[in-house]
């Protein structure tokens, strides 16, 4: 797909970000040479927005893919890409942020990233209290890090962000089936299957189109070349009002619970504390 056919959103910084991103986090992590092949295929398919993180372990392979794509002429300039990476929770102390960013840039082999996010707004260190915010503050949320799909639609979150002028990106747009915490709630949803049949689209395309219609940038991931291409073909059609109403009827369930951040020694002792 011609990358120019993917619309951009203008962020508060004035920078343009493609309205669909390619996620690079996968467990278990394949060898670098396998990731390199996949990321090159994604660039070839038309993806220009890539999402990685120090925690994923995929920064090095993504950087190699970018370097190879430039060398082979698949892209003409680094400026054609929008690259996001993230600060892991063990480096959220003020004195550790810049060193962590420098390490990410070194692994990526890049002089800069387009967006640097806090992976989760917590610090994994015993005894550190939660940060307090006054009423009216904008929470420093990793907007890419918001789980969002037809089975977890986050209406209140979307409303809040719209009021504050914050653009929302959503991970797990297809439910992350096959991951250690994901489910088939999206891909095997009977409502989406019916809509896919009636529109002549795939279930994945319907799920991604729903997010686009809500003004959300989906961060999708597929190692299948054909599905990579299919998932880009979501910008020249829309879901009907009837279809949108049916999607609103889908039962809601958060897949990622955040158990790793719950401890009797930290600020989040229960799931309710963490998601409050």
Q: Which residues are catalytic?
A: 56
Element (H, E) at 191: helix 190-199
Contacts of 169 (CB under 8 A, 6+ apart): 21, 143, 144, 146, 216, 217, 218, 219
CB 11 within 8 A of CB 17: yes
CB 201 within 8 A of CB 247: no
Quote the DSSP letter at residue 236.
S
Task: Give the Cα-Cα-Cα angle 94, 55, 105 (nearest 5 degrees).
Answer: 65
CB 215 within 8 A of CB 259: no
93 marked ligand binding residue: no
Q: What is the phi-psi region of residue 210: left when phi exceeds 0, alpha when psi lies from -120 to 50, beta otherwise?
A: alpha
Between CA 53 and CA 266 the distance in angstroms is 24
Quote the DSSP letter at residue 251.
P
Helix orientation angle between 241-248 and 203-213, rounded to the nearest 10 degrees: 100
Which residues are annotated binding-site positions for substrate?
119
Q: Which residues are annotated as a binding site?
A: 119
């Amino acid at each position: 797909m011609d990358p120019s056919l993917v619309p951009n959103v203008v962020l508060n910084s004035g920078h343009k970000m493609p309205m669909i991103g390619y996620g690079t986090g996968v467990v278990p992590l394949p060898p670098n040479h396998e990731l390199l092949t996949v990321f090159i295929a994604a660039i070839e398919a038309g993806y220009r927005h890539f999402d990685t993180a120090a925690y994923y372990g995929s920064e090095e392979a993504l950087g190699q893919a970018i370097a190879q794509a430039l060398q082979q002429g698949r892209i003409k300039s680094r400026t054609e890409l929008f690259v996001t990476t993230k600060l892991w929770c063990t480096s959220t102390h003020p004195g550790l942020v810049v060193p962590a960013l420098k390490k990410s840039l070194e692994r990526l082999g890049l002089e800069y990233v387009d967006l640097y996010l806090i992976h989760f707004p917590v610090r994994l260190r015993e005894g550190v209290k939660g940060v307090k915010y006054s009423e009216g503050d904008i929470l420093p949320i990793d907007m890419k890090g918001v789980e969002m799909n037809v089975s977890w639609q986050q209406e209140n979150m979307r409303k809040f962000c719209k009021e504050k002028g914050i653009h929302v990106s959503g991970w797990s747009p297809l439910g992350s089936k096959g991951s250690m915490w994901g489910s088939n709630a999206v891909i095997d949803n009977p409502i989406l299957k019916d809509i896919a049949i009636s529109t002549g689209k795939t279930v994945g395309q319907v799920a991604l189109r729903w997010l686009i219609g809500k003004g959300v940038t989906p961060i999708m991931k597929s190692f299948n070349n054909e599905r990579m291409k299919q998932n880009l073909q979501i910008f020249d059609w829309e879901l009907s009002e009837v279809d949108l109403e049916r999607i609103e009827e889908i039962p809601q369930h958060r897949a990622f619970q955040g158990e790793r951040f719950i401890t009797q020694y930290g600020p989040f002792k229960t799931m309710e504390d963490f998601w409050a």
